[in-house]
Structure 1
Amino acid sequence: MSAELLPCVEIETGPQPTHAVIWLHGLGADGHDFEPVVDAFDEAALPPTRFVFPHAPMRPVTINGGYVMRAWYDIVAQDFSKRREDAAGVHESAVQIEALIARENARGIPDERIVLAGFSQGGAIALHTALRHPKRLAGVLALSTYLPLAETLKDEASEANRDVPIFMAHGRDDGVIPHDFALQSFAQLTAAGYPITWQTYFVEHGIVMEEIRDVEQWLTSVLGR
């Protein structure tokens, strides 16, 4: 597993950022995908924040006929009743995200001022990594996603992030990751005692302005001023 730093897009909402949001894109997209969301936020409501949007590595994706695209892990089955994600890819991406957290530490931003965020596949990696990260984070933002390798969380969970705030949101009409499947992850995390804000929206596999406003409010609460 390589900890080589991934290429990233970075946006800073003010000079000398004191906080960071590491935001992971979905399958087949890239780090530019969620850049416009920052422009939609009220920057005055947030502390000076560095938004980091890494580009996932290029890899073949089984369910797409082996086509090579940006992906955080291989998806080996369409059936949500089976293991869909390859464990090696999840672990490799987690190591790469840990390296980005370490870089923010080196730039003066401690773990407790860092949010891990992601959409779809990126949200899955954000959840997986954050809940196993050895130091307390500011929060986890998981949009249109689910908990990967859920069966290993009990043994691998970090005590430091047992009470990390989590914002999960999902589209009621999501045809890529079914709403009911995401609810299973929400139920598992809730049963394990994680504090979760759960929201649903009338959207398919994407985000809407109402969701952006809710995300902004949540980020303001976990990042502070």
Structure 2
Amino acid sequence: MCGNNMSVPLLADAVTVSGAERETAAVIFLHGLGDTGHSWAEALSSIRLPYVKYICPHAPRIPVTLNMKMVMPSWSVHGAVGRRRGACGLLMLQREPEVVAGGIGGLAPGTCGGEGEGWVYLAIRLPCAMDTWRVRRLISFAFPPRFDLMGLSPDAPEDEAGIKKASENLKAAIEHEIKNGIPPNRIILGGFSQGGALSLYTALTSQYQLAGIVALSCWLPLHKAFPQAACNGVNKDIAILQCHGEMDPMIPVRFGALTAEKLKSVVTPTKVQFKTYPGMMHSSCPQEMMAVKEFIEKLLPRI
């Protein structure tokens, strides 16, 4: 394939997992707040199909309102809608938690994996061994929910301009792949948390009929604008795989359920799959990744 990635900012430094044979389809997958494309490129490599190209862009580093204007990778300024409460839960620890990489392959012993909405780090390693109940209690206290989906007050902030700008950048990446020979109906958008939210918004407002959406532990941003914001019903029949951890302390599973119901008012209801995973927090697990693989394989068969 041809084309210069440098002409598309989102693709300039993206991590790409190339196919082992001729690439006839593409998955563009966006990471969460504070992460990079590397972690999800590694995860997708473990379930990849040989004729599919997996593209994992890096979010730009910008000041994030939710993190007191700290500069970190984020697809939009606020990161998520809601108030940032104090980290008093961390005072239960005897010493500072250790920053560790990863956190998307499930919970290793003593580790809270995930994105860290409202926090600088991607994952933390607790300084002592704790049973699952204590970990859940601590993390639920230290990481309160960041927004109230569909229960927002009229003046609750959402970074509308930032979301739309990020969406346009993602649409430019889609167009780049189309120009390079991948038809839109062979392209899946996906993402985790903030990245999943942006993927949902972008796909539903796209002028191209895409193959599907993988939405992990996320929500639909600017949800009040839908279904009117959907681009002339182009993706009315798009397939959506939405997955969520039942123990997610940052984006509670009930928000995922509300998102699924909202999505059913935007697309054909039978096209929306909502899967939940007992014990999973703001992270991923092998069962979820297998569901993602099966979804991709069904929508992007070998041709």
- TM bucket normalised to smaller: over 0.9
User: Distance in 2 between the 1:84 and 1:13 partners?
Assistant: 41
Is 1:120 the counterpart of 2:193? The answer is yes
CA contact (8 A) 1:111 1:135 kept: yes
CA contact (8 A) 1:73 1:85 kept: no
1:67 maps to 70
User: Distance in 2 between the 1:103 and 1:36 partners?
Assistant: 23
Cα deviation per residue 1:63-111 (whole Å; 9 max; x = unaligned)?
Answer: 2111111101122523424345300110011011011101101211011
Alignment of 1:1-225 (within 5 A): 4-6=8-10, 7-41=13-47, 43=48, 46=49, 48-75=51-78, 77-78=82-83, 79-80=147-148, 81-82=151-152, 83-158=156-231, 159-194=233-268, 195-202=271-278, 203-225=280-302
CA contact (8 A) 1:8 1:55 kept: yes
Cα deviation per residue 1:7-45 (whole Å; 9 max; x = unaligned)?
Answer: 31101122331100000000000111201222321x4xx
CA contact (8 A) 2:21 2:50 kept: no
User: Distance in 1 between the 2:249 and 2:220 partners?
Assistant: 17
CA contact (8 A) 1:62 1:77 kept: no
CA contact (8 A) 2:75 2:163 kept: yes
What TM-score does the superposition give when structure 1 sets the normalisation length? 0.93
SS in structure 2 opposite 1:52? strand
Q: Percent identity?
A: 35
> Which residues of structure 1 form unaligned runs of 5+?
none
CA contact (8 A) 1:120 1:143 kept: yes
Q: Which amino acid aligns with 1:77?
A: G
SS in structure 1 opposite 2:241? strand
SS in structure 2 opposite 1:88? helix
Q: Which amino acid aligns with 1:23?
A: F
SS in structure 2 opposite 1:21? strand
After TM superposition, the structure 1 stretch with the greater mean CA deviation from structure 2, 188-197 or 106-115, is 188-197
Q: What is the aligned length? A: 220
> Which residues of structure 2 form unaligned runs of 5+?
1-6, 84-146
Cα deviation per residue 1:149-183 (whole Å; 9 max; x = unaligned)?
Answer: 00112222021100100000000010111111121
Closer, same or farther in 2 for the Cα pair 1:126/1:215, shift >3 Å? same
Cα deviation per residue 1:97-152 (whole Å; 9 max; x = unaligned)?
Answer: 01110110121101110000000000000000000111110100000000000011
After TM superposition, the structure 1 stretch with the greater mean CA deviation from structure 2, 6-15 or 213-222, is 6-15
CA contact (8 A) 1:74 1:85 kept: no
User: Distance in 1 between the 2:72 and 2:292 partners?
Assistant: 28
What TM-score does the superposition give when structure 2 sets the normalisation length? 0.70
Q: CA RMSD in A?
A: 1.5
SS in structure 1 opposite 2:22? coil
CA contact (8 A) 1:12 1:50 kept: yes
User: Distance in 2 between the 1:47 and 1:106 partners?
Assistant: 21
User: Distance in 2 between the 1:53 and 1:177 partners?
Assistant: 22
SS in structure 2 opposite 1:116? strand
Shift of 1:47: 5.4
CA contact (8 A) 1:47 1:224 kept: no
Rg larger in structure: 2
